Amino acid sequence: MATASGTVAPQSPQRRSPALLVVALALALPASMLCALALGAARVPFGDVLGYVGAGVSGGWIDAADLPDYQIVWQVRLPRVLLAAVVGAGLAAVGVASQALVRNALADPFVLGVSSGASVGATAVIVLGAFAAFGVYALSVAAFLGALGATALVYLAARTPQGLTPLRLVLTGTALAYGFSAITTVLVFLAPRGDAARSALFWLLGSLGGVTWPSVPLAAAAVVAGVGYLLLYARALNALAMGDETAAALGVEPAPLRRRLFVVSAAVTGCLVAVSGAVGFVGLMVPHLVRMVTGADHRRLLAVAPLAGAVLLVWVDLLARTLVAPQELPLGVLTAAIGVPVFVWLIRRRAYVFGGR
Amino acid sequence: MDVGIEGLTVTVAGARLVADLSVAAPAGTVVGLVGPNGSGKSTTLRSVYRALRPSAGRVLVDGDDLWRLTARDSARRVAALPQERHLEFDFTVAEVVAMGRSPHQGRLDRDSDTDREVCAAALRRVGADHLSARGFLTLSGGERQRVLIARALAQEPKVLVLDEPTNHLDIRHQLEILALVRATGVTALVALHDLNLAATACDVLYVLDDGGVVTSGSPCDVLTPDLLAAVFGVRAHVLEHPVTGAPQLVFSTALDPEGTL
């Protein structure tokens, strides 16, 4: 072999470390959130925004004259902006996990039937008034239960004695999703009131309109725990992405890992869908966009993708409530409107290889 | 290190793929598994690199039962090139080779200097250090196999398991890959379809048929016209390699089922 040439030990060329990118995004996130708190139907000066947030956090006092602005920033916008960041981060991270889990570049957090199941629950609440006992949380509870129910069905249907195989998971998830969306459609058609169909459609495309503080802690905790868990398994995800046999040969048992990732992904996605509806495209697009910069190594990918998803969704939500104010646009419409052209342009421009070629 | 497969039986979904199969690979030897399609070569190898749990029997590496070790411990002793070829995401060559270090690293460990040195040495060993920044999916078939061997070497294994490593490669790359395996000096278990290649590259051959070992020994002892007729159903003539003296086969026609040709 021609190995004798190696007296100079060349540093193995590596992709640039993501540290810079992480720092940049970590700075961009609070800046974006500040913008989102200040801008909207009522404009609040940036300095005042900081003051109100400080007052809200520390329990300090403000002038009585500032009360309306304080309420806009602290009661209305802040929970919404925080949730936008949480949902964006969660969808991006779970998108990465889902793509490795089913080893498919087309996968997103909803590939396992989560969103379609949640839709059935939410539509049942909107159209039929189900779960009225839960009051204002009926929608979230129903969506969460729908998501979990759907995931459990997909899991049971896809399971084999050899474990969960990627292709079976994708096919089962996709097939059941058609079934669930058929149920949703029937519910919408049966809706006694026309505006119910409209609300259902709006929910299906994702929205953070009307979220309040109580929605924040659970979703935030789910995302923090989920991202933390995925980061612990970043190296194992690399092995899993190479194939089950390779993973086994690298000391990663694929079947239990896939099972655990499935449960974590479903739980996180269920929590997100419960508060925001099914925001499409973020979980598919952000992983690919980030991969174009950091490469496929999950250790880098999972460090960057949640931050990128958070920044993206904060801006998307800001646009959603300002573009056609006082009307609101569904988030899914904007993620698609922004995401599709950017995505297509990047795929054509960069030598980005995926899907086997 | 010595590898011993003892009384291996593998049953999947009620089908017995391998029954009571035993293989011994003394330290540093290259042991070839040959046999017709479905004879149990891949199944046997899978149970060595822990992709398929045996229903009975043991796989011993230097006396330790591999399936009693943790997956990580076992991956420090045995590295493999499975037959899987599909890859959805474009890892760089450096990233693919670095994966070989994962059984040596803790969950949150970053790649240490040692890890990087081992990976660089592995790439040099297979003559692929110039490919390190390339995307794995952009490589040719021969380059990919080299890189996968480098990944296996990065595991610093005692045993290499290779399932049809020369599939889809041109003749030069076939010879190179097998020469590379031999040059590592690591005990190797190799499944091969090409009998002439197996005769050249292996110290010992095990002939498998229908999930069991038919015979084993040096290529000279094993590759006889009678055996080839019995196991592969072909009429073969054995010649001697003019340089190495290894047996080389020339085939006439496939035998008809009654063997009357």
- Which of B81, B88, B125 is the mutation pick for testing A, counting most A CBs within 10 A? B88
Residues 83-112 of B with CB under 8 A from A: 83-84, 86-92, 94-96, 99-100, 102-103, 105, 107-108
A348, pLDDT greater than 50: yes
Contact A139, A199 (CB under 8 A): no
Decide if A356 touches B, using CB distance below 8 A: yes
- Beta carbons within 10 angstroms of residue A116's beta carbon: 26
Q: What pLDDT does residue B119 have? A: 96
- Judging contacts by C-beta atoms under 8 Å, the chain A residues touching residue B48 are none
Summarised one tens digit per residue, pLDDT across range A221-258 is 999 999 999 999 999 999 999 999 999 999 999 999 99
Return the structure tokens found at B70.
């943790």
A238 in contact with B, Cβ within 8 Å? yes
Rounded Cα distance between B261 and B255, Å, is: 6
Q: What pLDDT is attached to residue A257?
A: 93
Nearest chain B residue to A13 by CA distance is B133
* In chain A, where the domains are located: 77-349
pLDDT digits (tens, 9 = 90+) for B134-162: 999 999 999 999 999 999 999 999 999 99
Res A355: pLDDT? 47
**B6 contacts B63 by C-beta, under 8 angstroms:** no
Rounded to the nearest 10 degrees, the angle between the axes of helix B113-125 and helix B141-154 is 140
Are B94 and A12 in contact (CB < 8 Å)? yes
Rounded distance, CA B189 to CA B51, Å? 15
Q: List chain A residues with CB under 8 Å of B117.
A: 9
Angstrom distances, CA of residue A262 to CA of A102, A257, A312? 10, 8, 25
Supply the CATH classification number for the domain A77-349.
Answer: 1.10.3470.10
How far apart CA B185 and CA B179 sit, in angstroms, is 10
Phi, psi (deg, nearest 5) at residue A140: -65, -45
Count chain A–chain B contacts defined by CB atoms under 8 A: 139
For residue A351, what pLDDT band results from cuts at 50, 70 and 90? low
- In the prediction, which pLDDT does A248 show? 95
Parallel, antiparallel or unpaired: strands B78-81 and B159-163? parallel
Q: Is the pLDDT of residue B205 over 90?
A: yes
pLDDT confidence tier of residue A13, bands split at 50, 70 and 90: very low
Give the pLDDT confidence score for residue B183 in this predicted structure. Answer: 92
User: Which range (A19-28, A347-356, B71-80, B165-174) has the least confidence?
Assistant: A347-356
* Distance in angstroms (rounded) separating the CA atoms of residues B123 and B146: 8
Measured between beta carbons, which residues in chain B are less than 8 angstroms from residue A355?
88
Does B218 lie at the interface with A, CB-CB under 8 angstroms?
A: no
Q: Which of A13, A15, A241 sits opposite B89 (nearest CB)?
A: A241
Tokens coding B97: 């080779």
pLDDT digits (tens, 9 = 90+) for B156-185: 999 999 999 998 899 999 999 999 999 999
Q: What is the mean pLDDT of residues A16-27?
A: 87
Residues contacting A20, CB < 8 A, separation 6+:
none
**Residue A191 contacts B, CB cutoff 8 Å:** no
Higher-scoring residue by pLDDT: A325, A31? A31
More confident position, A246 or A355: A246
Minimal C-alpha gap between B80 and chain A (Å): 6
ipTM of the complex as predicted: 0.92
In the DSSP assignment, the letter for residue B109 is: P
The whole-number pLDDT of residue A245 equals 94
Task: Lowest mean pLDDT of A201-205, A268-272, A304-308, name the range.
Answer: A201-205
Alpha-carbon gap, residue A54 to A34, rounded angstroms: 12
Average pLDDT value over all residues in chain A: 87
* Band of pLDDT at residue B255, cut at 50, 70 and 90: low
What does the pLDDT average to over A8-24? 63
The closest of B98, B78, B240 to A13, measured between CA atoms, is B98
**DSSP codes, A270-337:** HHHHHHH----SHHHHHHHHHHHHH-S-HHHHHHHHHHHHHHHHHHHHHHHHHTTTTS---HHHHHHH
Which residue in the set A12, A250, A353 is minimally distant from B132, CB to CB?
Answer: A12
Largest CA-CA distance found in chain A, in angstroms, rounded: 81
In angstroms, the separation between the Cα of residue A243 and the nearest Cα of chain B is: 7
Q: Please report which confidence band the pLDDT of residue B107 belongs to, taking 50, 70 and 90 as the band edges.
A: confident
- pLDDT band (50, 70, 90) for residue A350: low
Q: Of B13, B71, B80, which is closest to A161 when you measure between CB atoms?
A: B13
Q: SS3 for B242?
A: coil
Among candidates B83, B90, B99 on the partner chain, residue whose Cβ is nearest the Cβ of A354? B90
CA distance to partner chain B, nearest, from residue A21 (Å)? 18
- pLDDT at position A1: 37
- How far is A46 from chain B, CA to nearest CA, in Å? 39
Give me the domains of chain B, ranges plus CATH numbers: 3-223 (3.40.50.300), 224-261 (no CATH)
Structure tokens at A248: 């086994």
| Closest partner CB to A3 (pick from B13, B49, B125) | B125
**A156-187 residue pLDDT tens:** 998 887 778 888 899 999 999 999 999 998 98
Q: Is A7 exposed, middle or buried (0-12, 13-18, 19+ CB in 10 A)?
A: exposed
Whether the link from the prior residue into B242 is cis, omega within 30° of 0, is no
Alpha helices (runs of H) in chain A, residue ranges in sequence order: 19-38, 46-58, 67-70, 78-101, 114-123, 138-158, 166-190, 194-204, 215-232, 234-242, 244-249, 254-276, 282-294, 298-322, 331-349
**pLDDT, tens digit, 9 for 90 and up, residues A102-159:** 998 888 888 888 888 988 998 888 888 877 777 777 888 898 899 999 999 998 998 8
Chain B residues 115-154 with a CB less than 8 Å from chain A? 116-117, 119-120, 123-127, 129, 132-133, 135, 137-138, 152
Q: What is the mean pLDDT of chain B?
A: 92
**In this structure, are strands B30-34 and B3-12 parallel, antiparallel, or unpaired?**
unpaired
